Amino acid sequence: MSLGRELKPNIYAVGAIDWDRRLFDELIPLPDGTSYNSYLIKGSEKTALIDTVDPTMTDVLVRNLRGLEVGGIDYVVANHAEQDHSGSLPKILDLYPGAKVVCTPKCKDLLMDLLLIPEDKFITVADGETLSLGNKTLEFIHAPWVHWPETMLTYLREDHVIFTCDFLGSHLATSGLFVTDEARVYEAAKRYYAEIMMPFRTTIGKNLERIKSLEIEIIAPSHGPAYDKPEFILNAYRDWTSDAVKNEVIIPYISMHGSTKKMVDYFTEALIDRGITVKQFNLSEPDIGKLAMALVDAATVVLGSPTVLVGPHPKVVYAACLANALRPKLKFASIIGSYGWGSRMVEQLTGMLPNLKLEILEPVVIKGVPKEADFGALDRLADEIMNKHKELG
């Protein structure tokens, strides 16, 4: 059996759905699988393939191409060199020896290093350059840092379809070619943005501006379903990349003997009582994707940790490093927790957040179990957060 579903006349989805994948880069959880989308475009004179698939699913791509009785491929456009899209290139070049790889100069260097593709197989394209397939024209838009330095987008002018590779995509295995359940795709796309795109928020915003003038009917990413209502995902991205933050506090925490847990629960209620949305994340068995999503638009993070060997708990260190790497648009941070006989956790944790341009609000780190004065200090911190959020408007 093969699948070659028509996106528009003479444009086919020939990629693979990976229902079983649960981890990406051996780091990122994929609760709903993913897909590696590849698109075949038949012009009146030339045929182009946009992106390939993860090497583990090369056979699916080959089967889908055979099912469409593709006589030849003239160009394989590599929008991005990462192996989940480029990994099947060597096999495709073996099967279609006349095909040339079309990509940015930086992508060429990476593909030669990563996949040992010979130099004479490449055609490099400049930003704004076009390539004719006869009655269809591909326009290449360099879009570096979504999320590697070599990335580009490919716009099919006559059909108003833009192929965006990782940009605007979602890790979601679904049989639908287009988005049918917007709420489900919103969640998957936000998780994807948080884990992959958020560190490049400013660049992503500029890329959104760059494609604003294009007439777009379909956005065809290389993960997840395509968008036949482009404004749905464009509006979501505009919101996530904007400077606006929500009246929300994220509390990643862990507790060893219950003291920090008592503080976290009291503090959570104090914030709710002040009209603030709170999201707690117990780090004993965290879904880091959910934590990353929560960080996309919250105003404040408060780390909750006991003291381990005078420093923070290692799982809180992990959460702090993750937040620092993902560079969310947080405005404020603080720390709550307890110690037995001594702690340097505040200075150590705050030192782990150099990438975040935020204000540290006075932490509440106490000795032993929380007492009346300690709950009072948590009320003071909740008041301060409420006032700071109000000042943001």
Interacting residues toward ligand FEO by CB under 6 A: 80, 82, 84-85, 147, 166, 223
Q: Whole-number minimum distance, CB 52 to ligand FEO, in Å?
A: 11
Looking at the Cβ atoms of 152 and 333, the one nearer to ligand FEO is 152
Contacts of 102 (CB under 8 A, 6+ apart): 48, 75, 76, 77, 78, 122, 123, 124, 125, 131, 138, 140
Q: Whole-number minimum distance, CB 271 to ligand FEO, in Å?
A: 36
Looking at the Cβ atoms of 39 and 332, the one nearer to ligand FEO is 39
Q: Whole-number minimum distance, CB 171 to ligand FEO, in Å?
A: 9
Q: Whole-number minimum distance, CB 195 to ligand FEO, in Å?
A: 11
Rounded Cα distance between 83 and 60, Å, is 16
Looking at the Cβ atoms of 24 and 267, the one nearer to ligand FEO is 24
CB of 279 closer than 8 Å to CB of 250: yes
Looking at the Cβ atoms of 194 and 364, the one nearer to ligand FEO is 194
State which amino acid sits at residue 38.
S
- Of all residues in the shown chain, the one whose CB is closest to ligand FEO is 82
Rounded Cα distance between 255 and 259, Å, is 7
Per DSSP, the residues of 45-106 read: S-EEEE----GGGHHHHHHHHHHTT----SEEE-S--SHHHHTTHHHHHHHSTT-EEEE-HH
Looking at the Cβ atoms of 164 and 268, the one nearer to ligand FEO is 164
CB of 315 closer than 8 Å to CB of 284: yes
Rounded Cα distance between 155 and 141, Å, is 8
Looking at the Cβ atoms of 84 and 297, the one nearer to ligand FEO is 84
Looking at the Cβ atoms of 115 and 366, the one nearer to ligand FEO is 115
Q: Whole-number minimum distance, CB 92 to ligand FEO, in Å?
A: 17
Looking at the Cβ atoms of 166 and 374, the one nearer to ligand FEO is 166
Largest CA distance in the chain: 79
Instruction: Output the six-digit token pair for 69.
Output: 């009785």
Q: Whole-number minimum distance, CB 146 to ligand FEO, in Å?
A: 8
Instruction: Output the six-digit token pair for 316.
Output: 């809180």
Instruction: Output the six-digit token pair for 29.
Output: 């959880």
Per DSSP, the residues of 117-184 read: --GGGEEE--TT-EEE-SS-EEEEEE---SSSTT-EEEEETTTTEEEEETTT------S-SB---HHH
Q: Whole-number minimum distance, CB 33 to ligand FEO, in Å?
A: 13
Q: Whole-number minimum distance, CB 45 to ligand FEO, in Å?
A: 30
